[in-house]
């Protein structure tokens, strides 16, 4: 029903919000951004033609020449559409209505402020740590912890493109072509997981967006290096690649025990590399790993979930009694619905859809809990579960990690892909749970790890002061000043992580609800102010602190530019920019084009 008075009030509120945003904007500690012509910029972002590609130096070592001691045997072809393919997946994104001029002005202002903060950080990296893996945001130096291949630069390539920073993008691509050499490494052991999600993911997404041929050449070079990780007796990947031994072709030894996320987070990147190149070797290698996870999924102590630690040497993904969707396991689950989308349409799509549904149902039952809160808010968080033996009761530990905050977006995305509206609702409650961890803290930033008191029921949960007091008394990590409801902030740091804003972004794109933009803005203001340094932004040591300036750590992870600021930016961008119907994000926020 048309309500003119409500419309006038809403426009008045938006005008006030714009005025306040401008005031905050002008007081910002970083330099004011250049104004953007939104419509022109959106077209430029999505359709900018490739520039003349820079030439690339030949790597010191050609990984494609390695003669494997343990060759793979017959290569499984990429799945193709057939008569047995399932029906097409439904639309994911909400159909957004045109926004008013006031809404557009406010959104654009906020987006430009995110862009300005990114530019400040990029300028500091460029002048003080160019070519290093990470910037030291307090001292202004640089460090290498991911093999010295310019992790921050490669990780941020697609963010540069998405934000329309073409000169910076071209300069970074030229550096990759000239100086990034995957034939040498600053470390003797190369981390397979991190190399895959940051470097290969970054190169593939930047290529998918820009079509610069040099980026694909570098992605193939790196893909051939990662392929050597599968030169093992059972064709399962090593967690760390012995850089010297790998070059000889001598078989590598698979570690006895690894976190389940490590081997379980190779499928998206290697599959996309095969799709782009037509070389099925990469897909085949990752698919063998996922075959193992598929066979064991319903044989564990919590059917549908895998234990935190698995043995790829023994090909055992079943034994283990601790289960979580947080660190150690997170992206294994994240990739299941995304693989269904990436492999559409094909029979393999159905397998990943089934694996997704199994994990979503099991996690809902075993891991998700409603925390008891003074205001009675109806929200959810993800904890950790343990089981002593088959048939024994599942014991929930209501300890939540920031890393688990991706799960709200994962439920919402899967709910749309697989026509499960209840999962979208669960995703919304989980996302609000992580946003609550930000809002509740005096700094407005969520901690790395915390504990709550779980409700006995999800439907009714009144505040019980005595129960909360008893809960915090059981926790030696409790300290004065924690908000009511929290029994610990076991790790009170905020290290520029993206998972909470990732879920806010997904829920905004899936539901179209304006409240998620408001959540994102509150979070951005708190994070930008609390983490600011002279040069860039740094990890905060204690989000429960009440005095500014906050204690900080001289470290800035590459995911700050690759993920966190990208998701903030996209929340305030028109929804057709990197639409969820056209792209899927890897766990480092690198968007891959969905085929078709």
Catalytic residue numbers, as ranges: 194, 330, 448, 499
Name residue 143's beta-bridge partners: 134
User: Can you tell me the distance from the alpha carbon of 578 to that of 449, in angstroms, rounded to the nearest whole number?
Assistant: 31
Token pair for residue 303? 């059917």
Q: How many C-beta atoms lie closer than 10 Å to residue 398's C-beta?
A: 20
Closest C-alpha to 580, from 566, 570, 569, 568: 570
User: Can you tell me the distance from the alpha carbon of 102 to that of 429, in angstroms, rounded to the nearest whole number?
Assistant: 29
Contacts of 529 (CB under 8 A, 6+ apart): none
User: Can you tell me the distance from the alpha carbon of 350 to that of 23, in angstroms, rounded to the nearest whole number?
Assistant: 51
Token pair for residue 565? 């600021």
Q: If DSSP states are collapsed to H, E and C, what string results for 517-538?
A: HHHHHHHHHHHHHHHECCCCEC
Measure Cα distances from 429 to 33, 317, 338 in Å: 35, 30, 21
Reduce the DSSP state of residue 36 to 3 states and report it.
coil
What single DSSP character describes residue 240?
E
Q: Return the biggest CA–CA distance within the chain.
A: 76
Token pair for residue 91? 């639309």
C-beta contacts of 300-305 below 8 A and 24+ residues apart: 301/387, 301/389, 301/390, 301/392, 302/362, 302/366, 302/385, 302/387, 302/394, 303/358, 303/362, 304/358, 304/359, 304/361, 304/362, 304/363, 305/359, 305/362, 305/363, 305/366, 305/367
Name residue 452's beta-bridge partners: 486
Phi-psi region of 481 (alpha: psi -120 to 50; beta: other; left: phi over 0): left
Q: How far from each other are the two terminal CA atoms of the chain, in whole angstroms?
A: 40
Q: How many C-beta atoms lie closer than 10 Å to residue 95's C-beta?
A: 7
Reduce the DSSP state of residue 147 to 3 states and report it.
coil
Q: Are 108 and 38 in contact (CB under 8 A)?
A: yes
**Cα angle, residue 361 at apex, residues 360 and 365 outer, rounded to 5°:** 115
Measure Cα distances from 373 to 369, 431, 452, 455, 459 in Å: 12, 16, 9, 9, 13
Token pair for residue 581? 């119907």
Measure Cα distances from 96 to 15, 37, 45, 508, 513 in Å: 21, 21, 20, 10, 9
Reduce the DSSP state of residue 381 to 3 states and report it.
strand
587 known member of a binding site: yes
Token pair for residue 28? 């910002």
Token pair for residue 68? 């494997």
- Please report, in range form, the residues annotated as the binding site for Ca(2+): 587
């Amino acid at each position: 029903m048309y309500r003119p008075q409500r419309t006038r009030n809403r426009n008045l509120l938006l005008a006030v919000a714009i005025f306040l945003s401008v005031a905050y904007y002008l007081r910002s500690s970083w330099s004011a951004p250049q104004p953007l012509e939104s419509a022109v910029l959106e077209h430029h972002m999505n359709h900018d033609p490739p520039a003349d590609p820079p030439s690339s130096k030949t790597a010191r070592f050609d990984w494609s020449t390695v003669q494997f001691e343990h060759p793979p045997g017959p290569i499984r072809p990429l799945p193709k559409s057939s008569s047995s393919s399932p029906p097409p997946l439904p639309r994911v994104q909400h159909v957004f209505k045109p926004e008013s001029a006031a809404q557009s002005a406010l959104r654009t202002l906020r987006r430009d402020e995110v862009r300005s903060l990114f530019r400040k950080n990029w300028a500091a990296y460029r002048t003080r740590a160019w070519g290093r893996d990470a910037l030291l945001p307090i001292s202004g130096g640089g460090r290498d912890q991911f093999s010295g291949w310019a992790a921050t630069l490669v990780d941020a390539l697609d963010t540069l493109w998405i934000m329309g920073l073409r000169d910076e993008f071209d300069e970074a691509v030229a550096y990759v072509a000239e100086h990034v050499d995957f034939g040498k490494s600053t470390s003797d052991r190369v981390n397979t997981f991190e190399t895959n999600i940051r470097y290969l993911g970054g190169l593939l997404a930047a290529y998918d967006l820009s079509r610069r041929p040099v980026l694909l050449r570098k992605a193939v070079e790196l893909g051939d290096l990662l392929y050597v990780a599968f030169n093992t007796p059972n064709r399962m990947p090593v967690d760390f690649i012995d850089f010297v031994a790998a070059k000889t072709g001598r078989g590598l030894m698979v570690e006895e025990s690894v976190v389940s996320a490590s081997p379980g987070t190779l499928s998206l990147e290697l599959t996309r590399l095969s799709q782009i190149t037509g070389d099925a070797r990469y897909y085949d290698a990752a698919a063998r790993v996922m075959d193992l996870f598929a066979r064991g999924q319903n044989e564990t102590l919590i059917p549908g979930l895998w234990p935190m630690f698995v043995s790829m040497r023994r090909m055992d993904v079943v034994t283990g009694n601790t289960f979580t969707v947080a660190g150690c396991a997170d992206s294994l689950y994240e990739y299941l619905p995304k693989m269904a989308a990436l492999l559409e349409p094909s029979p393999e799509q159905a397998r990943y859809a089934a694996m997704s549904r199994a994990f979503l149902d099991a996690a809902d039952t075993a891991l998700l809990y409603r925390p008891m809160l003074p205001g009675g808010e109806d929200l959810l968080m993800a904890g950790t579960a343990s089981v002593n033996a088959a048939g024994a009761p599942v014991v929930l530990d209501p300890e939540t990690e920031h890393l688990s905050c991706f799960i709200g977006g994962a439920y919402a995305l899967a709910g749309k892909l697989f026509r499960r509206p209840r999962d979208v609702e669960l995703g919304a409650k989980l996302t609000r749970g992580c946003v609550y961890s930000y809002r509740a803290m005096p700094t407005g930033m969520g901690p790395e790890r915390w504990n709550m008191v779980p409700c006995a029921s999800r439907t009714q949960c009144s505040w019980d002061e005595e129960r909360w007091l008893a809960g915090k008394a059981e926790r030696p990590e409790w300290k004065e000043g924690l908000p009511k409801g929290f029994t610990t902030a076991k790790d009170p740091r905020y290290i520029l992580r993206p998972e909470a804003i990732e879920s806010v972004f997904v829920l905004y794109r899936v539901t179209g609800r304006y409240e998620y933009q408001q959540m994102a803005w509150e979070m951005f203001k708190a994070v930008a102010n609390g983490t600011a340094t002279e040069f860039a932004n740094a990890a905060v040591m204690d989000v429960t602190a009440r005095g500014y300036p906050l204690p900080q750590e001289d470290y800035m992870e590459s995911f700050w530019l690759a993920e966190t600021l990208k998701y903030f930016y996209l929340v305030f961008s028109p929804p057709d920019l990197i639409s969820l119907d056209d792209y899927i994000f890897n766990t480092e926020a690198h968007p891959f084009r969905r085929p078709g």
